[in-house]
Structure 1
């Protein structure tokens, strides 16, 4: 098994004071007679939905962590995300296929325009707040394909190397018809699909209180099994921008989301998380590396 090439650059960065967990990761690759490695992909979702999310992403990238960043190309701040990622070409890039807009007083709509996909939008021309609300509107699957194709094409025009797709709020794969569209488009454009490589998915910190998110991540590290694992994260800065946003699908008090996303950023950049990764000899990698290693033909539709 070849070493993860990204890690060499990160080891060099240690001389400039980067996190100590990066030391020796290249030496954790599998050798004859040794146990199979434990790999972990940090997938960071919702990049581009706000300036605050982008600033948190920059802080996360600055740690040197290998990252897979899922960009919402339908959202107003995606171009800032693109500029950040162009400065960091080692970061794996995904398209966070988007068919929902869940924040009160901060909405977005389709890349194709409301007139092109009328069954995908509400009376104001925005995506519906939830999968359930969208499905109740009897969306035309041809319009779903038109919109998701437009998001992929926008991503490809950005100049970034696009590695994979995943699914905002799960909507793009929640129905069999939608899933078939996502699979067909991924195949057409030569993209990997998150959850299709047999990887174990987790996000234990998502529901933890802000100050307990590091605890949940450390506990997750302790129970990781050999093979490829993915932790799905959402980072942000607890500032006025995020503090004003209210998720219409939850009963969380205003500003709680902002604190939760700051908590995830703090946990991922903490010494505790770094120490747990190093103690378990977990190999941090990316979807780009996974796809290079296994190939797109290895993809299989997840059970269930």
Structure 2
């Protein structure tokens, strides 16, 4: 009994010390989404890994380049791996469907067996909550079986947490698989490079780094890729989709690489962390839904 009480006390003290250490630093968590979506995105991911950047990589399990993503990520020490829970397939002429199989989740797919491009069409099809859980679980299981060490979950296009009842499914799975959930630790989203003009992304990134402050986890969500024929052939069917997405993604990659090579993080005494660090420093039981915190 005394041993148990000692362990509990030690855990509480350690948690308090770690939180205090973190609060005194400028923390930046870079999360790169859509890994495994295409060869172009995977190549960009490898460049960031090879450059030594510490970041979190959100992997799209249903996509055709998932296996290549696994081979790139599984031995990368500077990367924390997450599941980019996917219920949409938004690119014209490049579609994907459920990991669980169409027959097990028919309400989640169109007549050809693909996920719907926009969220509106997904919800207009009255998706079964049971089928949503079946599919999201299948994605997590496949990632684990591939050898990836999963630290966190997040959500492609926000679909998996768009409704309270779906958010509960994600939280249930996170609890079951002992995973963190992105944005559940009070992260403060800094202005991403997503819609910034292509030629202005690096300067925007520098302005973001200049704005980083202490006492919180600053979250920068990025969408990287190489400007290749493969990537330039893709057209985002979402209303918010950008033209020349290939060039936008390449510019985000180049901005991050330039910041690394120029030592911009060190100059500003910014501590780069990833979700593996967050998971190790903060109890998963302390996670709170952004809808609860008002964030």
TM range, normalised to the smaller chain? 0.7 to 0.9
Stretches of structure 2 that go unaligned for 5 or more consecutive residues are 1-17
- CA offsets per residue over residues 70-94 of structure 1, 9 Å max, x none? 0001111011000011231441100
Match of 1:100 among 85, 88, 91: 88
Change (3 A) 1:243 1:294: same
8 Å contact 2:34–2:60 — kept in the other structure? yes
Match in the other structure for 2:181 = 193
Match in the other structure for 1:181 = 169
Change (3 A) 1:122 1:228: same
Match of 1:225 among 179, 196, 213: 213
Q: Secondary structure at the match of 1:95?
A: strand
Match in the other structure for 2:47 = 59
- CA offsets per residue over residues 29-61 of structure 1, 9 Å max, x none? 9999x9821100110100000001000100111
The CA distance in 2 between the partners of 1:178 and 1:239, in whole Å, is: 36
The CA distance in 2 between the partners of 1:45 and 1:96, in whole Å, is: 7
- 1:140-159, aligned counterparts within 5 Å? 140-159=128-147
Change (3 A) 1:49 1:175: same
Stretches of structure 1 that go unaligned for 5 or more consecutive residues are 1-28
What's the CA shift for 1:221? 1.2
8 Å contact 2:74–2:149 — kept in the other structure? no
8 Å contact 2:192–2:222 — kept in the other structure? no
Is 1:244–2:244 an aligned residue pair? no
Match in the other structure for 2:8 = none
Q: Secondary structure at the match of 1:179?
A: helix
The CA distance in 2 between the partners of 1:86 and 1:67, in whole Å, is: 14
8 Å contact 1:92–1:287 — kept in the other structure? yes
Is 1:234–2:223 an aligned residue pair? yes
Structure 1 length as normaliser, TM-score?
A: 0.85
Q: Secondary structure at the match of 1:44?
A: strand
Aligned residues: 274
What's the CA shift for 1:203? 4.3
The CA distance in 1 between the partners of 2:225 and 2:50, in whole Å, is: 14
The CA distance in 1 between the partners of 2:19 and 2:66, in whole Å, is: 38
Match in the other structure for 2:284 = 296
